[in-house]
Amino acid sequence: MPELLAKKARHGELSDLLKDYSRQYYLGDAPGISDAVYDALYNELLEIEREFPLLKTKDSPSQKVGAKASRKFSKIKHLSPMLSLENAFNEDDIATFLERVRNLSGRDQIDLVLEPKLDGLSASLRYKNGFLMAGATRGDGMVGEDVTANILTLDCVPKKISEWSSFQDVEVRGEVVMKKADFRSLNESRLEAGEKLFANPRNAAAGSLRQLDSAITKSRKLTFFAYSLISEDYPPQTQMEVLKTLGKCGFTISDEIAFCQNQTEAFRFYAEMEQQRADLEYDIDGIVYKVNDLQLQQKLGASSKFPRHSIAYKFPAEKAETTVLNIVVQVGRTGNITPVAELMPVTVGGVVVSRATLHNRDEIEKKDIRVGDRVILQRAGDVIPQILSAIPEKRPENSVPFLFPNLCPCCGSALVRGNDEAATKCININCEAQMVERLIHFVSKLAFNIDGLGEQNIKFFFDSGFIKSPVDIFYLENKNSEIQLENFEGWGRQSVQNLFDSINKAKTITLDKFIYALGIPQVGRSVSKLVAGFFKSYESFLESMENKDVTGLLAVDGIGESILGDILKFFENSSNLNVLKQLAGNGKNGAVTILNVESPENNLLQNKTIVFTGTFETLSREEAKELAEKYGAKAASSVSAKTSLVVAGENAGKKLEQAQKLGIKIISEQDFLELIKKT
């Protein structure tokens, strides 16, 4: 029983995480994690459901496809479910897939078509009597977003197909991608315009297709690769015939297609494509194995989420070989010293990598990474550059081990290392490198959120002597008659005014964001909210920091001795305490106004533990949690005896069932919003 309860709790956590990440991926066009990390979490969920089948409810991520269509777009229903693909990660997974197909079909010989798994945004195109009438995203697999106006701007998509003039309904499915060269051109133009760069071609393609203004889509180079054809009037017999037909009709078809009659041929093609992926003109993250016979595809059918006739054999994280040109050490906001390898630029997974963190002294010594070494580089989870190992046989004869510095590279202070710590630190609070990093944190989006004060501008103001402390930011406009910032290169009258407007807008801030902005070690967003909820006001917080009286914080769930120690240590430094006093001031002459945590007597949510489950009409899950926390509640990810309230939306699953069993009060999204109004 204890094991089952633990697995249920973990299953709930995984479900929430996977649903949130799916929403970010499909609707936000910006995945919060890499595909590799998502796959690991998803496989963990599947493993739990295999061990405890009762946990697999209709609301489980294992039974869902994509994410519900955004409310920004009208909806289009697909002719048939637009399912995602099951993933394979090794040859045994493929062998199991083929054995399952043979068993279900009763055939010994299974012909396969192998296609690249394109890394873009799935889309379907609807043709009536040969004319393109509609375009939609995958959405939740049943209903997608209407992006017809944007699809019509793509030159590579045929708008009229004479051969289909007598067919009532034909649906073509494929992937909208941005080729690597087009992605580079787009980011170069955005860089020149001072706009935010896209992280990768997939994000660029998704963001470009899901524009409300089709003129933006038209201005970007997108390519639609077709791979599927659905029509009752015109049914091809094989997948190869589908691809040839689509090509003849004017659609773009991938050149990397293989017809394989056995497992050996299929594995050989996979290996070839894994070697060539970096040289392709578009990003792929695996190979799709499809049963060629379409009648057999129909016979095999599908589960609630995956077709049984296809599977995606994912590539492992891409690796590359390059040279370490230098090893430098950087000083972080809290004084941590991080070694970084400067590399001969190399393309890994479609991204040019020229730097990789070596984490700490132990990492360098363990892997024996040296300047001049040839090394194996991997983008961990296809995101973070990571040096896996050096290649000793390619090491220069005059190579010497890297000597970790004993002095801070910025201020020259002695570096220290705790007995139980991997980190080496500069403990000089006035170290300029730390001061710059603290300023960057102070103005960041989750803190004061000041536009126009990015990393480069902070460094400019610091080096110029205009901003040395967070307090200086709010007096910058007053000093500009002396500074005359508009006369500096890169600045003009309008950009200076925009900066001052942004600073003035940021002068009113909530207590939790203010505490977070200070950059106290271990005091992140969640701990900042706990601290603010305890003190309620800036005055109370300041008084406790001055008197070193914070023992009451230990009573707060989520704050322990270690966090308490870091808070005390931070304010033992008189400079930090002075900044705390000077920032608030009296709300005039450049000082900020800090809003108290409101706790009205009729606050019905104060200290309540709330669990949100299902899909809501007006709020995202994250918005609902933030709203609850704003009014003093704690948003939890799983239901337990400590849960005060469960807010259930559409398709609420096991959390709702668990709440019912425990007798916990359950309300709707509308009830929750009404509760907020009364608070």
**Catalytic residue ranges:** 117
**DSSP structure class, residue 414:** B
Gap between the Cα atoms of 530 and 553, Å rounded? 9
The residues pairing with 407 across neighbouring beta strands, listed in sequence order, are 414
Question: Secondary structure of 55-99 in the HEC alphabet?
Answer: HCCCCCHHHCCCCCCCCCCCEEECCCCCCCCCEECCHHHHHHHHH
Of the candidates 82, 109, 122, the residue with the CA atom closest to the CA atom of residue 296: 109
Where b means 16+ CB within 10 Å and e means fewer, 522-538 reads: ebeeebbbbbbbbbeeb
Gap between the Cα atoms of 306 and 320, Å rounded? 33
The residues pairing with 340 across neighbouring beta strands, listed in sequence order, are 328, 357
Of the candidates 509, 521, 511, the residue with the CA atom closest to the CA atom of residue 571: 521
Where b means 16+ CB within 10 Å and e means fewer, 298-310 reads: eebeeeebbbbbb
Coil vs helix vs strand at 306: coil
CB 629 within 8 A of CB 512: no
* Cα separations in angstroms, 70 against 30, 62, 620: 14, 21, 11
Beta-sheet strands, E only, within 332-371: 337-348, 351-357
CA 103 to mean position of chain CA atoms: 39
Gap between the Cα atoms of 536 and 283, Å rounded? 50
CB 144 within 8 A of CB 290: no
Gap between the Cα atoms of 520 and 447, Å rounded? 12
Of the candidates 391, 317, 387, the residue with the CA atom closest to the CA atom of residue 350: 317
Gap between the Cα atoms of 101 and 293, Å rounded? 12
Gap between the Cα atoms of 532 and 594, Å rounded? 11
Where do we find the tokens 């062998």? 95
> In this structure, what are the phi and psi dihedrals at residue 580, rounded to the nearest 5 degrees?
-60, -45
Of the candidates 485, 519, 476, 112, the residue with the CA atom closest to the CA atom of residue 334: 519
